[in-house]
Structure 1
Amino acid sequence: MPDEHRLEEEFLSQEAERRISEKLDGAEKIEINVQTDLLKIVQGQADGVSVAGLGLVIQEDIRIQEIKLQTDSININPLSALFGQIELNEPVNAIARIILTEVDMNRTLASDFVRSKMQDFDLDVDGRIVSFEVQKIEVFLPGDGKIECRGRVLLKEMENTRPLAYTALLRPRTHSKPAMLESFNCTEGEGISIELVAALMQKAKELMNLPYFKWEDMVFNIKDIKVEIGSLILLAETQVKQIPSSITQLSP
């Protein structure tokens, strides 16, 4: 009986690997293990799913160096699954470990996809509105828990537009320490006022302390961030309300 269960698991795991691989733009390695048995398959259930991926290219220049994910038990619509459409009957919890490299992060930041998502933002500086138009941003991971950001924005204030380039050194928040900004320097332009610095630091604090981020119907609650030389490691708890539309349409 255990051997039969293992054959069922291997069959489903290999099919899941094949189908997901078809939806990725590239992958050096992907392994999926579906923990289930025949009775649970008929009932549309599985004890859990583990995913281990290396060098996954999700969309054009968006690449993940490594991901390891383990879900809780899954309850799916078996009728829809027969037609290649995976629908979750209820949200699924998972734990994920994601590694991003400095090179991949900068390639992603420079991609057309991310640039199209970048939005200008406004700051209220003592009752007047100052707008920032992001033109370029790069990150560097020197290790020692630090992230260096270099960027260029257009500063719009009272019909006056001027360029501003900067470098910033920060420490992301961890499970035991808050986010810290160690330095901020203007490298191009006339500089900025102390009042604008204060408003900008408040905005940076809000962004750095965000407890989660979303991708379609997936919510990633960041529990810990570790910075090593050239790589960023994220530990997150994930709740999947529905399989993202980018991989739900599976070939029969």
Structure 2
Amino acid sequence: MPEDSGIGEEALNKAAEIGLSSQLDEVENLDVNVKAEPFKLVQGEVESVQIAGEGLVMQQNLRVEVMEMQINRVAINPLKAALGKIELTKPTAGKAWVVLTEVDINRAFNSEYIRAQIQSQKININGELKTVAPQQVDFRLSGEGKVTLNAKILLVENGETHQVAFTAVPRINAHGTTVTLENVTYCEGEEISPELTKALIAQTSEILNLNNFDLEGMSLRIKQLEVDTGKLTLQAEADVEKIPFAEN
């Protein structure tokens, strides 16, 4: 391969890394690998784009342990490529892998954003509408295809504290946009409120909504999920209309 090809790829890689990093709150590591032969670049074609990131902090303070994306056969504007930027001339598809850890999901659950979401609702507790304030939410990935959620809840009106604990099976919703919890089984005693359980399940879906992981010009649809001890892996299809690049 000609020497200047490598320089061209390196410039494209760096521009993409800067462009993607600018959309994230925090980045521990991000590598972009653009495979593009010079004679194909001038014809408007990139062989592949690989994105590999670690420790990416996305929307709503959600940290992603690992995100990888593979995009093949990318049609581009060759004039833009000559300036060190990949501009797609038509949408393309790719594959993505997202790994979330138990620690990161817990951090999101106990964030001010999620607490405010739950506290903004009036929830029926034993026949009375109450304002609930989560004190601590403990989300566990057991590795047996189930999750366990244990929440300490304060009833604001009377200062009572209640514990809610249940196991559930994570499932992909019909549109492939998020993970929801089904087959709820309470760990001990009776449920104090079906509405409270429903609210906690809704916030799980809010945290695991793939819209949280979308980057500009890219959207994901979950195709498969795997629950291991301490981590959740999502395999997804990526619809790509644009690859964010740093402006020259």
TM-score, length-normalised on structure 1? 0.65
1:214 alignment partner, one of 211, 216, 225: 211
Q: Retained in 2: the 8 A contact 1:173–1:224?
A: no
**SS of match in other structure, 2:220:** strand
Return closer, same or farther for 1:108/1:42 CA change in 2, 3 Å cut-off: farther
**SS of match in other structure, 2:27:** coil
Return closer, same or farther for 1:222/1:3 CA change in 2, 3 Å cut-off: same
Report percent identity of matched pairs.
31
Q: Measure the CA separation in 2 of the matches of 1:231 and 1:84.
A: 37
Query: How does 1:227-246 map onto structure 2 within 5 Å?
Result: 227-242=227-242
Q: Measure the CA separation in 2 of the matches of 1:167 and 1:98.
A: 27
Query: How does 1:178-189 map onto structure 2 within 5 Å?
Result: 180-181=182-183, 183-185=185-187
Amino acid at match of 1:166: V
The answer to whether the aligner puts 1:67 opposite 2:64 as a matched pair is no
Q: Using CA pairs under 8 Å that are at least 6 residues apart, name the structure with larger relative contact order, 1 or 2.
A: 2
> How many aligned positions are there?
235
Return closer, same or farther for 1:110/1:240 CA change in 2, 3 Å cut-off: farther
Return closer, same or farther for 1:163/1:36 CA change in 2, 3 Å cut-off: same
Amino acid at match of 1:168: F
Amino acid at match of 1:167: A
Q: Measure the CA separation in 2 of the matches of 1:131 and 1:41.
A: 62
Q: Which runs of 5+ in 2 are unaligned?
A: 173-179
TM-score, length-normalised on structure 2? 0.66
How well do the aligned residues superpose, as a CA RMSD in angstroms? 4.7
Query: How does 1:1-252 map onto structure 2 within 5 Å?
Result: 1=1, 5-42=5-42, 44-58=44-58, 61-76=61-76, 88-115=88-115, 135=134, 137-151=137-151, 165-173=163-171, 180-181=182-183, 183-185=185-187, 191-192=191-192, 196=194, 213-215=210-212, 218-242=218-242, 250-252=246-248
Amino acid at match of 1:149: L
Q: Retained in 2: the 8 A contact 1:168–1:181?
A: no
